Amino acid sequence: MDSLRYEILGPLRLGHVQGQPLKASKPRQLLATLLLHPNRFVSTDLIADALWEGNPPRSATANIRTYVRALRGVLQEAGLPTPIDTSAAGYSIEVGVDELDSSMFESLLAEGGHLRDADEGRQAMQVLSRAYSLWRGHPLEDLGGSAAWEGSIARLEAQYRSLVDTLLDLRLEYADHAGAAVLLSGRLTEDPYDEQLWRRLVDTLLAAGRTSEARAAYTKAVRTLADELGVEPGPDLAAAGARAQNGRSANWPDPGVPRVSTTEPSTLPATEGPMAAPELVEPHRPPSQLPLDLADFSGREQHLEQLRDLVCGRDPVRPPIAVVSGAPGTGKTSLAIRLGHLVRESFPDGQIYLDMRGATEPRDSGGALTDLLLSLNVPDFAVPPDPERRSAMLRSELASRRVLIILDDAAAASQIAPLMPGTGASAVVVTSRNRLMDLAGADSMPLDTFEDSEAAELLQRVAGTGRVDSRSAAVEEILSACGNLPLAIRIVASRLAQRPDLSPAELARRLRDETHRLDELSIGELAVRTSADLSYDSLSPAEARLYRLIGRFAVGVFSARVLEPVASPASVRRSLDRLIEVNLVQISSVDATGKARYRVHDLLRLHAIGVGEEAEKAQALKDLATLLDALLDKVRRAAAALPFVYFGNPDYEGPLRSPDPAPFTDADAIAWFDSERSTFVPAIRAAAQNGLHEYAWRLAAAWGPYLDMRAGFDDWNESHQPGLISAIACGDRRGEAILHRNLGQLALYRDDWEPAWEHFTQAAAIFAEVGDRLGDGVAAVGLGTWLRERGRLDEALAQYEKAVEAFVEVGDKNGEASARSAVASIWLARNDTVTAGRYMAEAFLIGVRLGDKHREAKIRRRIAALRTQQGRHDQAVRQLQASLAIFNGIGDDHCAAYARAELGAVLMALGQDAAARKMLLDAIEIGHRLGDRSVEGAAAHSLGRLHATTGNADFARRYLNRAVRSWQQIGNDAKVADARAVLTDLGTDLAAG
């Protein structure tokens, strides 16, 4: 722990730096925000919320850049590295696990839990005590708090509370009475009326031989209960007091403080911990995420009773699942939240709320699974990268708990099906605009508008006592205009409550005018549709044409510039301004450069598709094709400008569609892909939905080089799966083969062996069928790598040699270099360094002649492996350092992670432990962030061996166990066995010592 550089578990502190070098409040708040999300990009919007509490100035983006520069300067002056990265996504700070106290804290928690599960309680107690010692008070308590930090801090505090309870049990179990007394004293500072805590403290102090303190504790307990509650001690506490007076410890009458032999002295100091009398740490507090209940909620009594009966039932066969469906504004969310508050006592393990955003930009089920697991206190690094495994873990976590989950605004059954429990007593309430009849095992509860009496009651409650007469003609007219839609009624009633000068009669008069009704009733399906028709009629021909195009295209967020192929930039922006004014388009966000991104409510998107004459609808489809054609062309040009040659098939034949008047530089290309990244998956989806399948698959394939460079695995899968379906739909066999190959490569990166083999074999068969020799070579390399990783070296060599032959035949030098390097890896595995060296030299020469730095960097990694095998470690270091510099220079974090892991292992062999440790920690963090368990496991295994050789057994076990977990997740049994063997040797060495 001496290497800690940043500490947030208490006042913000730069570890081991004298004084307070960082004094300005905004840079301190910025650093705190980044440290709460280590090794992840934090958006400018979130930083602005943290710095200005949701009310940032217009200059917020520029100010944040200034604070980042100031922060870097202060860290440099303090002698600390300045690993603050900038991208279009925001800012991130790169820190190793043991450079940040909160990361170390979570890592030790996970290790302690693993040890306890393995029945190694004493070691678990030692590890968890170290985690406890990191806690110095309330996280970031010197910075005043921020709403933007609440979720992260609440999670840390929940983990701390659970830690204290677990540690208390372990200290009592292993007779560490002094340490247990410290924890019990802390508990009592916050809960001084708990007699059982007082009784346990008295007995624990007696067992520690601290009789006078036990008597003082009993006296304080009696006084506290008498003075503040007016009660006498109960029999258990009184008995403990008698034992204290007699000076005899209890015979451990309850399992809470068992009798254990104390011949082995405790290794923990009596006052160990963050403070002599720590703050109370209550038992683990389950998640309680329900939004605020509406004080003036009314109606739906029958629905509430039905829902209560359903979710509180004790069905022994299946967990209860209720789907509350209805039009927007019918009060689905309000009903679900009211129910959640009513039945809280029936769900002691917590209530979780997730907004699935079905009506706007549906939340990905994989991300929602992560949020649910984190809410259930699963450590971040333990969440599997594969969504199917996340779903399985969630079912396991819920099987033994009683949790209420509210999934608000679901888009479809497929979105939430992975989030369902498989067994146990947990319950799920789903709200949706759709009935979700295909959600297995769910009970449906459709909501309609209010009955007349319910509508009148809500209007009266919100407007205020005496504000309206429910029997008046004006109120009847208002309710009629609202269509008894609950949310619309709430809006008009709020206006009546806030505007004493607005009479019900005047409001009714305003609502008669349908052209302005949207101004008075801004929500509700019927009102939105009526107003949308009227708004559409008010558009100019250019604005209406753009609106119809957006309906076809906007299945997600989009930028103004992506619409420019159908009109001039100025015309697009004028039309967008008008569409925003009439509430047909909304601004979704503003990026760091000040560029807006837009979205359309799903109902309005459907409305836009349906409006217009048949010729206008046909024109919208033509405009969509024009837009997609231009987008595809730009993706191709940007991909061609990337600073490496992509190993794969192009998605097109022949030259680019048109010359670019302003060619991309490599930096421009990367920046453009980064800024438009959220556009491509929705564009592919829009192309497929509108029958433009050729554009769908070609777009998916065209941005493959960028995805490979950025390790964009989720986007890769979400674009290529529908792209493959579209290639099949339009009968393009070559396109089908390209996407199979790319999906095989993705599965290989994820160590998902069966899909990888299936995709590669499909690709190879189709490439052979259509006579694509380049495709033959690319697919053969994929198959060879699969076979090599499974230990089938002879078969792998045959595939690699086949690839070399194909690439030579078509004159693809980049492919030839890759294939020759792959052949070298087989000879290296056979310990034939002479043959391996010859192939590597040939591959390296080709890469240099091509000027392909990325290929050169990959081959340098192979040469480093050769030099290591020859015992020439200094040369291996130089090769890996050169390789890493290239990967870092072009932003290829994925390849850089492997180079770091390999460089760390070589530095270990040279005895450069500090440098090796830094490289391995970085590799672990990058591998975890990207979801690559292979590199994470390899780096953790090396780091575990490093700690073992330097005598740090605790750290060695922690990282070796992490390696085991990583390799277990990808099914690499051989590597699991290797790591366990080192763990076994480590235990043997300790016993011998």
* Mean pLDDT, contiguous 10-residue spans, the chain (993 residues): 72 67 80 87 81 78 84 75 73 83 88 83 88 85 77 81 85 83 76 81 85 86 78 86 76 37 33 33 65 80 87 74 78 88 88 83 86 83 81 86 91 90 89 80 82 84 81 83 74 79 82 58 42 69 92 82 88 85 70 74 70 89 93 89 75 46 72 84 90 94 87 86 94 94 90 90 95 94 92 93 94 90 92 90 84 84 90 90 86 87 92 87 84 86 88 84 84 82 71 42
Q: What are phi and psi of 839, to 5 degrees?
A: -65, -40
CATH number of 1-174: 1.10.10.10
CATH 3.10.180.10 for domain 854-989? no
Q: Rounded CA gap, 851 and 855, in Å?
A: 9
Q: Which two tokens stand for residue 346?
A: 């029936």
**Per-residue model confidence as pLDDT tens digits over 685-740:** 899 989 999 999 999 999 888 888 887 888 888 899 999 999 999 999 999 999 99
**Please, what is the Cα angle at 195 between 189 and 197, to 5 degrees?**
55
Task: Tally the residues of the chain.
Answer: 993
The radius of gyration of the chain's CA atoms, rounded to the nearest angstrom, is 32
The residues spanned by each domain of the chain are 1-174, 301-447, 452-524, 691-770, 772-851, 854-989
CATH 1.25.40.10 for domain 691-770? yes
Q: Which two tokens stand for residue 435?
A: 């009935």
Cα dihedral 429/432/435/436 (nearest 10): -70
pLDDT at 21: 64
Q: Are 826 and 793 in contact (CB under 8 A)?
A: yes
Which residues have CB under 8 Å from 683's CB, separation 6+? 553, 562, 628, 631, 699
Which residue's entry shows tokens 């750290």?
955
pLDDT at 40: 79
Which residues have CB under 8 Å from 616's CB, separation 6+? 544, 545, 548
Q: Rounded CA gap, 796 and 819, in Å?
A: 11
Which residues have CB under 8 Å from 931's CB, separation 6+? 385, 713, 750
Domain 772-851 CATH superfamily: Tetratricopeptide repeat domain (1.25.40.10)
What b/e sequence results for 713-749 when a residue is b if at least 16 CB atoms lie within 10 Å of its CB, and e otherwise? Answer: bbbbbbbbebbbebbebbebebbbbbbbbbbbbbbbb
Q: Are 337 and 429 in contact (CB under 8 A)?
A: no
Q: What are phi and psi of 428, to 5 degrees?
A: -130, 130
Q: Are 712 and 894 in contact (CB under 8 A)?
A: no
Q: Which two tokens stand for residue 527?
A: 């009102």
Cα-based distances in Å from 688 to 555, 626, 697, 723: 11, 15, 9, 8
Which residue's entry shows tokens 């890769």?
716
The amino acid at 203: D
Which residue's entry shows tokens 């004790």?
314
pLDDT at 328: 61
Cα dihedral 126/128/129/134 (nearest 10): 140
Which residue's entry shows tokens 């696990």?
97
The amino acid at 505: A
CATH number of 301-447: 3.40.50.300
- What stretch of H or E contains 597? strand 596-599
Q: Rounded CA gap, 779 and 764, in Å?
A: 5
Q: Rounded CA gap, 440 and 870, in Å?
A: 59
- What stretch of H or E contains 355? strand 351-355
Model-level pTM greater than 0.85? no
- Fold agreement between 691-770 and 772-851: yes
Q: Which long-range contacts (CB under 8 A, 24 or more apart) does 787-796 make?
A: 788/822, 788/825, 788/826, 788/829, 789/748, 790/753, 791/974, 793/826, 793/829, 793/830, 796/826
Phi-psi domain of 931 (left: phi exceeds 0; alpha: psi -120 through 50; beta: other): left
Q: Rounded CA gap, 553 and 557, in Å?
A: 10
- Provide the CA 619 distance to its chain's centre, in angstroms: 40
Q: Rounded CA gap, 224 and 219, in Å?
A: 9
**Residue 4's closest CA among 22, 17, 18, 19?**
17
**Residue 504's closest CA among 450, 458, 460, 452?**
460
Q: Are 778 and 815 in contact (CB under 8 A)?
A: yes
pLDDT at 265: 33
Q: Are strands 586-590 and 13-14 parallel, antiparallel or unpaired?
A: unpaired
By three-state DSSP, how is residue 619 classified? helix
Q: Are strands 427-432 and 404-410 parallel, antiparallel or unpaired?
A: parallel
Q: Are strands 321-325 and 427-432 parallel, antiparallel or unpaired?
A: parallel
Partnered with residue 86 across adjacent β-strands are 91
